[in-house]
Structure 1
Amino acid sequence: MPETFVDLGFVTAPSGVVVLGMATWIDYWRELGDPLPVRAAAAAKTGGGHLRDEECEAVAVPAAADRPLAVRATTEPSAFDEEPTIATLEIALGLPWPEGAEGPVLLGDLPVDRSGMVVGDAVGLDAWTSLDDEPADGLADLSYWGRYQQEVHERFGGERMPSYEGDGGPYGWLDLPVAEAVALEAEISAWRGGLPGRGVATMVEKHVDYFTFRRAGLHHPLHVGAIEVGGCQVLGIDWCQGDHAVRHHGGRDWGQAFPVTLEADGAGGTVLRWTIPPYGEDEDEGDA
């Protein structure tokens, strides 16, 4: 039975190297030695390879630098809630499949990052901003929720925030200047001190890349969001936290890392594929 793919968008790779990596650690490579572009370029020169240093993991491969690279996926029902979740992620590399070459070519394997996965240009991703960085636009979102959120709403206002579930997200404000968001959070925190149990939580989320890709994917059924990083279009894939807890929580330490291959696309081109078997299959194989 032929696979049914869902188009997720595209990435650009002007450096000629595409990376699929873990969102939590994509900016941490430089802290461990050579930055991501150097490591990725070295892997791409050999035809592609798996990169790993402490918690950082990624796969890097050569790709066409002069065109958008389509990204698509097949899906399986989640073991958590039976909603669609990614089973196969495929990135068109814009390069011909070598004549006479046999495939697929195994490059390594990757676990699913609890904070999602990132596909993009190796050089562009070196500009990725994370939680400790400051946002380029100087803005942040502030949200609050909890037992006494209605009392906070009556006192401070705010609107329902977007969420993966659609309606019913926390209250808060979008696109505030960072200083204003921090000051308002402090004001709410000081005021809630008189509430029994202090039953309100608050969060300031600066518009760094780690946050904006997740916000961009809020209304996508597979939580995929496109953002610009380092002048390149990048796709971020947030992961349902329930699905991750049921299916991927153990990560590599529990054998939950999945094969990444180079394959022919059937039309003379080359694709990068990350294949996550249906829930239970990899566990059964591990017990065999």
Structure 2
Amino acid sequence: MTEIYVDLGVVTAPSGVLVLGMAGWIDYWPQVGRPLSERALAAAASGGGHLHGPEGSEPRAWICEAIAVPAATERPLRVRALTSPSPFDGEPTVSVLEVDLGLPWLDDDGVGSVELGDLPVDRCGMVLGDARALDGFIGLDGESADGLADVTYWGKYEETVHAQFGGDRIAQRHDGYGPRGWLDLPLADAEAIADRLRTWTREGPGKGLMVAVDAHTDFHRFNRAGWNHPLLAGAIELGGCQVFGLGWDSGDHSMRHHGERAFGQVYPATLEARTGEAILRWTIPPYNTKHDEV
């Protein structure tokens, strides 16, 4: 099976600590103990480690998890991935995520590997960024960061609605496919448009149209940044830092990662040496049909 490196961009970590975490849970850390940054800085001080909440417990399903590692403070950190074909549609998916940490590998021989723990693939995606910046991350159900929102609609009556109400095609995949709708509307205007579409559907043909209003949370912003990337990867500015989001195709997640930690679908994160410098490596083995049939 052929694997191909993809350059995904850069992140910055002025706090000196980089976090790879489950995007759907980043804003949940204060509910299970100390803030994410406090726990991440403590883990990085001892070389890096696996964080999960609440503290003092074993990692368990359906709750926040992250890996924290020390990183250079004054330079961009390059992010790249190895890919392999998805069993769902054959499109490329991440098999290895790597981040250059900008720090020297301390072993004299310049080679080695340190196990940090393991992470599931969050169905909501993964986030990679500065520990302190992520303390301010506005999650899926949070308020709009800029007072704006996006409205999208799709389904059985999409063409009829488009003829009556308008709305542009919004490409949410690299092949140009996506729903219709409006971007960057004031939140009140977005809700009003969505109400009109729902009322038209309810009073007219009935079920058959889906309508969504997505406030500009940080979660939505980095999902949107990755809409047109083959790996659903994109970066946003958060707290003066460049923070990276990595989405997951729902079909691929269902076939390869569904159940996450509850079903043992977790993947190792390690510190590795490369040409004398440290890298963070998260390894998701390529799909193996023969293995999965056993």
> What is the TM-score of this pair, normalised by structure 1?
0.93
The change in CA–CA distance for 1:161 and 1:186 in structure 2 (over 3 A counts) is: same
2:40 is matched with 40
The 2-side partners of 1:172 and 1:4 are apart by 35
Native 8 Å contact 2:83 2:93 kept in 1: yes
Partner letter of residue 281 of structure 2? R
1:138 aligns with 2:147: yes
The change in CA–CA distance for 1:2 and 1:242 in structure 2 (over 3 A counts) is: closer
Q: Which deviations, in whole Å up to 9, do the C-alpha atoms of 1:6-62 show, x marking residues without a partner?
A: 111000000000000000001110121201000101100110000011600000000
Partner letter of residue 202 of structure 1? V
2:119 is matched with 110
Native 8 Å contact 1:106 1:260 kept in 2: yes
The change in CA–CA distance for 1:9 and 1:27 in structure 2 (over 3 A counts) is: same
2:59 is matched with none
The 1-side partners of 2:89 and 2:130 are apart by 33
Structure 2 unaligned residues grouped into runs of 5+:
54-61
Tell me which of 233, 247, 264 is aligned to 2:273: 264
Q: Secondary structure at the match of 2:184?
A: strand
The change in CA–CA distance for 1:104 and 1:203 in structure 2 (over 3 A counts) is: same
Q: Displacement of 1:278 after TM fit? A: 1.7
The 2-side partners of 1:174 and 1:52 are apart by 35
Moved more, 254-263 or 154-163: 154-163
Tell me which of 259, 272, 282 is aligned to 1:274: 282
1:164 is matched with 173
Structure 1 unaligned residues grouped into runs of 5+:
none
1:65 is matched with 73
The 2-side partners of 1:133 and 1:87 are apart by 31
Partner letter of residue 280 of structure 1? N
The 1-side partners of 2:155 and 2:276 are apart by 54
The 1-side partners of 2:168 and 2:123 are apart by 28
Q: Secondary structure at the match of 1:27?
A: helix
Q: Displacement of 1:279 after TM fit? A: 1.6
Q: Secondary structure at the match of 2:122?
A: coil
Q: Displacement of 1:168 after TM fit? A: 4.0
Q: Which deviations, in whole Å up to 9, do the C-alpha atoms of 1:248-282 show, x marking residues without a partner?
A: 002112111001000101x1100000001122389
1:95 is matched with 103
Root-mean-square deviation over aligned CA pairs:
2.1
Native 8 Å contact 1:126 1:230 kept in 2: no
Q: Displacement of 1:5 after TM fit? A: 2.1
Moved more, 211-220 or 161-170: 161-170
The 1-side partners of 2:2 and 2:200 are apart by 59
The 2-side partners of 1:245 and 1:7 are apart by 26
Q: Displacement of 1:3 after TM fit? A: 7.0
Partner letter of residue 124 of structure 1? A
Partner letter of residue 101 of structure 2? L
Moved more, 95-104 or 32-41: 95-104
The 1-side partners of 2:155 and 2:191 are apart by 19
Partner letter of residue 29 of structure 1? W
Counterparts in 2 of 1:66-81, with a 5 A limit?
66-81=74-89
Native 8 Å contact 1:20 1:59 kept in 2: yes
Give the total of aligned pairs: 285
2:201 is matched with 192
Q: Secondary structure at the match of 1:150?
A: helix
2:50 is matched with 50
1:10 is matched with 10
1:30 is matched with 30
Q: Secondary structure at the match of 2:206?
A: helix
Moved more, 96-105 or 139-148: 96-105
Q: Displacement of 1:184 after TM fit? A: 1.1
The 2-side partners of 1:283 and 1:274 are apart by 21
Partner letter of residue 66 of structure 2? A
Native 8 Å contact 1:12 1:65 kept in 2: yes
Q: Which deviations, in whole Å up to 9, do the C-alpha atoms of 1:61-112 show, x marking residues without a partner?
A: 0011011000111111111111111111001100000133762110000110
Runs of 4+ in 1 over 3 A off after TM superposition: 1-4, 165-168, 280-284
